[in-house]
Protein backbone atom coordinates (compact mmCIF):
# COMPACT_ATOMS: atom_id res chain seq x y z
CA UNK A 1 0.00 0.00 0.00
CA UNK A 2 1.34 3.42 -0.96
CA UNK A 3 2.08 6.03 1.69
CA UNK A 4 0.28 9.39 1.32
CA UNK A 5 2.67 12.28 0.73
CA UNK A 6 1.59 15.92 0.76
CA UNK A 7 3.75 18.64 -0.79
CA UNK A 8 3.56 22.29 0.12
CA UNK A 9 4.24 24.76 -2.69
CA UNK A 10 5.77 28.06 -1.55
CA UNK A 11 9.28 27.55 -0.21
CA UNK A 12 9.21 23.83 -1.06
CA UNK A 13 8.37 23.60 -4.77
CA UNK A 14 8.11 27.29 -5.64
CA UNK A 15 10.65 30.07 -5.11
CA UNK A 16 8.02 32.69 -4.35
CA UNK A 17 10.52 34.89 -2.51
CA UNK A 18 12.47 35.35 -5.76
CA UNK A 19 9.36 36.53 -7.60
CA UNK A 20 8.31 38.87 -4.81
CA UNK A 21 11.73 40.52 -4.67
CA UNK A 22 11.82 40.82 -8.46
CA UNK A 23 8.35 42.41 -8.53
CA UNK A 24 9.13 44.87 -5.73
CA UNK A 25 12.28 46.00 -7.58
CA UNK A 26 10.40 46.33 -10.86
CA UNK A 27 7.55 48.39 -9.40
CA UNK A 28 9.11 50.55 -6.66
CA UNK A 29 6.44 53.25 -7.00
CA UNK A 30 3.69 50.92 -5.75
CA UNK A 31 5.79 48.49 -3.69
CA UNK A 32 4.71 50.21 -0.46
CA UNK A 33 1.16 48.88 -1.03
CA UNK A 34 2.41 45.31 -0.66
CA UNK A 35 5.21 45.82 1.86
CA UNK A 36 3.33 44.10 4.67
CA UNK A 37 1.60 41.44 2.55
CA UNK A 38 3.62 40.80 -0.62
CA UNK A 39 1.66 37.60 -1.25
CA UNK A 40 -1.32 39.85 -2.08
CA UNK A 41 0.37 41.04 -5.29
CA UNK A 42 -2.02 40.07 -8.12
CA UNK A 43 -0.49 37.34 -10.27
CA UNK A 44 2.56 36.76 -8.05
CA UNK A 45 1.84 33.02 -7.80
CA UNK A 46 1.47 32.45 -11.54
CA UNK A 47 5.07 32.11 -12.79
CA UNK A 48 7.66 32.02 -10.01
CA UNK A 49 10.64 29.74 -10.62
CA UNK A 50 10.81 26.32 -9.01
CA UNK A 51 13.02 25.67 -5.99
CA UNK A 52 16.33 24.08 -6.98
CA UNK A 53 15.90 20.33 -7.69
CA UNK A 54 12.18 20.36 -6.75
CA UNK A 55 10.74 19.29 -10.11
CA UNK A 56 13.21 16.44 -10.56
CA UNK A 57 12.72 15.30 -6.95
CA UNK A 58 8.94 15.11 -7.31
CA UNK A 59 9.31 13.04 -10.47
CA UNK A 60 11.71 10.68 -8.66
CA UNK A 61 9.25 10.27 -5.80
CA UNK A 62 6.45 9.59 -8.26
CA UNK A 63 8.50 7.07 -10.26
CA UNK A 64 9.44 5.21 -7.07
CA UNK A 65 5.83 4.00 -6.83
CA UNK A 66 5.99 4.31 -3.05
CA UNK A 67 3.70 7.32 -2.67
CA UNK A 68 0.28 8.67 -3.50
CA UNK A 69 1.16 12.34 -3.82
CA UNK A 70 -0.92 15.48 -3.31
CA UNK A 71 -0.32 19.21 -3.33
CA UNK A 72 -1.32 20.82 -0.01
CA UNK A 73 -0.91 24.56 -0.01
CA UNK A 74 -2.39 27.65 1.55
CA UNK A 75 -3.43 30.65 -0.54
CA UNK A 76 -3.84 34.14 0.86
CA UNK A 77 -7.52 34.88 1.36
CA UNK A 78 -7.12 38.47 0.21
CA UNK A 79 -5.55 37.49 -3.11
CA UNK A 80 -8.36 35.89 -5.13
CA UNK A 81 -5.94 35.07 -7.99
CA UNK A 82 -3.67 32.96 -5.80
CA UNK A 83 -5.63 29.69 -5.88
CA UNK A 84 -6.04 29.54 -9.64
CA UNK A 85 -2.49 30.78 -10.23
CA UNK A 86 -1.14 28.02 -8.01
CA UNK A 87 -3.12 25.44 -9.98
CA UNK A 88 -1.76 26.79 -13.27
CA UNK A 89 1.77 26.64 -11.85
CA UNK A 90 1.32 22.98 -10.94
CA UNK A 91 -0.06 22.15 -14.40
CA UNK A 92 2.78 24.05 -16.10
CA UNK A 93 5.47 22.16 -14.19
CA UNK A 94 3.85 18.75 -13.65
CA UNK A 95 1.22 18.33 -16.36
CA UNK A 96 -1.51 16.02 -15.11
CA UNK A 97 0.50 14.43 -12.29
CA UNK A 98 -1.54 16.31 -9.67
CA UNK A 99 -4.84 16.56 -11.54
CA UNK A 100 -7.60 16.62 -8.90
CA UNK A 101 -4.98 16.01 -6.23
CA UNK A 102 -4.63 19.49 -4.78
CA UNK A 103 -5.75 20.81 -1.41
CA UNK A 104 -5.88 24.53 -0.73
CA UNK A 105 -6.34 25.01 2.97
CA UNK A 106 -5.25 27.01 5.97
CA UNK A 107 -5.79 23.88 8.10
CA UNK A 108 -3.07 21.40 7.19
CA UNK A 109 -3.61 19.76 10.56
CA UNK A 110 -6.88 18.40 9.13
CA UNK A 111 -5.31 16.84 6.03
CA UNK A 112 -4.86 13.06 6.27
CA UNK A 113 -1.58 11.51 5.25
CA UNK A 114 1.69 9.88 6.21
CA UNK A 115 4.04 12.74 5.28
CA UNK A 116 3.84 16.49 4.75
CA UNK A 117 6.81 18.29 3.21
CA UNK A 118 6.47 21.91 4.32
CA UNK A 119 8.95 24.68 5.04
CA UNK A 120 6.90 26.18 7.86
CA UNK A 121 4.78 25.11 10.82
CA UNK A 122 1.95 27.61 10.26
CA UNK A 123 -1.54 26.78 8.97
CA UNK A 124 -1.49 23.55 10.92
CA UNK A 125 1.65 22.10 9.32
CA UNK A 126 3.25 21.80 12.75
CA UNK A 127 0.25 19.82 14.00
CA UNK A 128 0.00 17.54 10.94
CA UNK A 129 -1.03 14.07 12.17
CA UNK A 130 1.59 12.25 10.05
CA UNK A 131 5.28 13.12 9.84
CA UNK A 132 6.15 16.72 9.08
CA UNK A 133 9.29 16.84 6.94
CA UNK A 134 10.44 20.36 7.70
CA UNK A 135 11.98 21.46 4.38
CA UNK A 136 14.85 23.92 4.80
CA UNK A 137 15.57 22.74 8.34
CA UNK A 138 18.92 21.40 9.50
CA UNK A 139 17.74 17.81 8.98
CA UNK A 140 16.11 18.51 5.57
CA UNK A 141 17.97 21.51 4.10
CA UNK A 142 17.29 20.60 0.47
CA UNK A 143 15.66 18.12 -1.88
CA UNK A 144 18.67 15.78 -1.86
CA UNK A 145 18.24 15.15 1.88
CA UNK A 146 14.49 14.71 1.49
CA UNK A 147 15.02 12.13 -1.25
CA UNK A 148 17.63 10.28 0.84
CA UNK A 149 15.08 10.01 3.61
CA UNK A 150 12.04 9.04 1.54
CA UNK A 151 13.67 6.79 -1.03
In a domain, 55, yes or no: yes
Q: Report pLDDT digits (tens) over 118-142.
A: 999 998 999 999 999 999 999 999 9
Nearest by Cα to 70 from 35, 137, 141, 118: 118
In a domain, 25, yes or no: no
Domains in the chain, number: 1
Residues facing 143 on adjacent strands: none
d(CA 36, CA 48): 20
Q: Report pLDDT digits (tens) over 10-21.
A: 999 999 999 999
Contacts (Cβ under 8 Å, ≥6 apart) of 37: 76, 78
In a domain, 69, yes or no: yes
In a domain, 34, yes or no: no
Among all residues, which ones are annotated catalytic? 8, 10
Domain assignment of residue 112, given as a range: 3-15+49-150
Domain containing 114 — which CATH number?
3.40.50.1000
Q: What is the pLDDT of residue 69?
A: 98
In a domain, 79, yes or no: yes
Contacts (Cβ under 8 Å, ≥6 apart) of 149: 133, 140
Amino acid sequence: MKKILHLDMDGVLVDLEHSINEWLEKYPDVAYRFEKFPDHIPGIFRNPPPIKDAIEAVHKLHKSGKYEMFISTAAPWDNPYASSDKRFWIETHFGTLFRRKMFISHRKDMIVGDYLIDDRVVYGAGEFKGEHIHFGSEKFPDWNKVLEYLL
